[in-house]
Structures are given as C-alpha cells and as structure tokens.
Amino acid sequence: MSLLVVGSVAFDAIETPFGKTDKIIGGAATYISLSSSYFNKKVNLVAVVGGDFPKTDIEMLQKHGVNTEGLQIKENEKSFFWSGKYHNDMNSRDTLITELNVLGSFDPIIPESYQNCDYLMLGNLAPSVQRTVIERMKKRPKLIVMDTMNFWMDIAWDDLMKTISMVDVLSINDEEARLLSKEYSLVKAAKKIMAMGPKILIIKKGEHGALLFNQKQVFFAPALPLEEVFDPTGAGDTFAGGFIGYIAKTGDISFQNMKRAIIYGSAMASFCVEKFGTERIMNLSEKELDERVQDFVDLVQFEVNI
Ligand code: AMP
C-alpha cells in the first residue's frame, strides 16, 4: 500500500556524553523514510533542501526505495539545520540551534503520482505546512499520522490546534503531551488530546516505552533495555516510520494491528539509538529486525494463573 512521508530533511549537529558530530544528515522525514523503507518497497517523500545538501545523501535515500520526485532542491538556499545537546541521562536534551532556512518558506507540492497514497505520515514541520499537505491531497488517505514537537507549541499554537483536529493519529512524547493538555497525568492528558480531534494517541516515553490510546483502550509497548545508547536523535521519527511502515505494509488500521505496529516502531527506534544519526538504520538486515522484534515479544511475555 502506498505511503507518503512529509517532514524535514536536514543537517544535524549532535552532542551526547559519548561524542560530537559535525553536520550530518538528519531531519524527521529522513528518519521516517529510512525506517518505513524496511516495510515498503517504495516510500514517497515530500520535503525541501538547499543547494548545499549532498547528492550522495539523496542517492542514499533513493537506494532505500525512497521516491524523491517530491524533494524540492532550492539551489541558492541553505538546508534546515538543527543542533542539540543531550544531558547525561540521555533522555532530555537542549536544542542549541534551529535554523529554518529553506523550511521557512516551504510550499509542499504533492506530485500527481503521489495523489493516491493510502497512508500519510506528517513528520515534524510547521503545522500550517502539515495542514497544507492534507488539503492538497485530492483523496483523503485511509490514515493520517502526525508528529509534532514543543517548538511548534511555543510559536504556532493556533495553527497546531487546527492541524491536530484533522488527523487520525497523533504521536508525541510525554513532555509534549503534558504541555499540550496542561495535565500531568498521561491518562487525563490522553483524554484531553483525543478530544482535540485524533482518534488515536501515541505517547512516547523514551527509554520507558510508548503508550497507545484510543477512547476505550490503552496498550503499552516497552523499550528494549539496551547495553549501549549512543544517540537518541531521530528515535521518535524512526519509531513513527516503523509504525506507519508496518501499517502501510499490512493495510490494516485496526487497534489490534496498531499494537503490533508500535512494537515494530519500538524495534526500529531501538536500532536508531545504538549509533550516531542515521548510521544504524541505514544498514539493517531483515534477520536483525526479526530477531529484535522477537526480543520484544520475549521481554513482555509471561504466564500466570489467577
Ligand atoms: P527526534 O529526535 O525524533 O525528536 O527528531 C530529531 C530530528 O528532528 C532531527 O533530525 C532534526 O533535524 C529534526 N527537527 C528538529 N527540530 C525541528 C523542527 N522545528 N522542524 C522540523 N524538524 C525538526
């Protein structure tokens, strides 16, 4: 089933307690596309980069089956640049630099060949741009999943509310859920956020897993306890890519299947954090993924007689 991914394609500079990178390839849509490519032969990308973005990175995406027909290249402008520094606990980070550059005036053009996509993943971007994408789809996709972050809650609240009201699934982290709902309890937060529009809410809790809510049920996916965590950048996007990628592959949008999808998303995210940037998720084998999903099954499976 066809999948459309929209979001930032960027340069990132990352600092963690284990090291520091110069400008490397990053961006929400990069992580989402790479991650979902393990489930779908073709992933349709809509994004924008500047003339400074290396052709080799675009070719790397293409090698993973990412269709870059919808990737705009603004030759005389600079790519989006983000820089972040992680604290010692690796769960929290400070954003050091956000230079919107090409993203500041991004007009998302949907190629005709993408128009019939059944699944739409709106990665982190200005909520007004995310909304434009929904409005430009001639046929509403079967499922629209949206990711966002505190940055947009701070500077584009009204736009964010409008876009959230138009999507089926919202995927955010616990801190963002509290900010959005003004509730500390995640159960209360989930109720308030679902009243804003989305029928399904995913709350990511970093190394403490992820929660999947609908109006009646809640499901928990753990994060795999890992020996080495080098860089959590992009873990949320990689999770979202695994989630939507699995759903697009199976073509099933039931809550039951979404439970499986958040396990696949968590498995993909567990690889992402093992190396800096996109390094680990660029070269995964099917066997590695299968074994990792089995690790998740083993982690939570137990029997009890009550
Ligand atoms: P995550 O660690 O999952 O929150 O995602 C990190 C990625 O989000 C990085 O690769 C950044 O390039 C990208 N990013 C950070 N801030 C923004 C923003 N304001 N808009 C779009 N993408 C962003």
Which of 274, 244, 249, 280 has the alpha carbon at shortest distance from 262?
Answer: 244
Q: How far is the CA of 296 from the centre of ligand 1 (A)?
A: 26
Residue closest by Cα to atom 15 of ligand 1 = 82
Query: Is the CB of 58 within 6 Å of ligand 1?
Result: no
- Find the mean pLDDT for residues 258-266: 97
Q: Looking at the predicted structure, is the pLDDT value of residue 1 above 80?
A: no
Q: Which domains does the chain have, with CATH numbers?
A: 3-8+28-48+110-300 (3.40.1190.20)
Q: How confident is the model at residue 228, as a pLDDT? A: 86
Distance from Cα 148 to the centre of ligand 1, integer Å: 9
What does the pLDDT read at residue 89?
A: 84
Mean pLDDT of 212-226: 96
Cβ-contact 203, 190 below 8 angstroms: yes
The CB of 123 under 6 Å from ligand 1? The reply is no
Question: How many angstroms is it from 14 CA to the middle of ligand 1?
Answer: 11
Query: Does residue 31 register a pLDDT over 80?
Result: yes
**Of 32-36, 70-74, 88-92, 159-163, where does mean pLDDT reach its minimum?**
88-92
- pLDDT tens readout for residues 166-178: 999 999 999 999 9
What separation in Å is there between the alpha carbon of 285 and the centre of ligand 1? Answer: 26
For position 36, what pLDDT does the model report? 98
Is residue 192 within 8 A of residue 183, CB to CB? The reply is: yes
- Given this model, what pLDDT does residue 236 score? 96
Least confident residue range of 90-94, 167-171, 206-210: 90-94
Q: Is the CB of 122 under 6 A from ligand 1?
A: no
Per-residue confidence (pLDDT) for residue 91, from 0 to 100: 79
- Percentage above 90 pLDDT, the chain: 93
Q: What percent of the chain has pLDDT over 70?
A: 100
Are 141 and 247 within 8 A, CB to CB? no
SS3 of the chain: the string is: CCEEEECCCEEEEEEECCEECCCEEECHHHHHHHHHCCCCCCEEEEEEEECCCCHHHHHHHHHCCEEEEEEEEECCCCCEEEEEEECCCCCCEEEEEEECHHHHHCCCCCCHHHCCCCEEEECCCCHHHHHHHHHHCCCCCCEEEEECCHHHHHHCHHHHHHHHCCCCEEEEEHHHHHHHHCCCCHHHHHHHHHCCCCCEEEEECHHHCEEEECCCCEEEECCCCCCCCCCCCCHHHHHHHHHHHHHHHHCCCCHHHHHHHHHHHHHHHHHHCCCCCCHHHHCCCHHHHHHHHHHHHHHHCCCCCC
Q: How far is the CA of 124 from the centre of ligand 1 (A)?
A: 6
Q: pLDDT digit string (tens) for 57-79? A: 999 999 999 999 999 999 999 99
Residue 216 structure tokens? 């009646």
**Residue 123, both tokens:** 């990665």
| Mutational test site, ligand 1, from 14, 124, 233, 273, max ligand atoms within 8 Å of CB | 124
Q: Can you tell me the mean pLDDT for 199-205?
A: 97
Token pair listed for 52: 């400074």
| pLDDT score of 177 | 98
pLDDT in tens, 117-126: 999 999 999 9
Mutate to test the pocket of ligand 1, among 8, 31, 281 (most ligand atoms within 8 A of CB): 8
Check residue 9 and give its pLDDT.
Answer: 98
> Which of 186-195, 248-257, 295-304 bottoms out in mean pLDDT, i.e. has the lowest?
295-304
What's the pLDDT score for residue 120? 98
Averaged pLDDT of the chain: 96
How would you label 99-130 residue by residue, b for 16+ Cβ within 10 Å and e otherwise? Answer: eebbbeebebebeeebeebbbbbbbbbbbebb
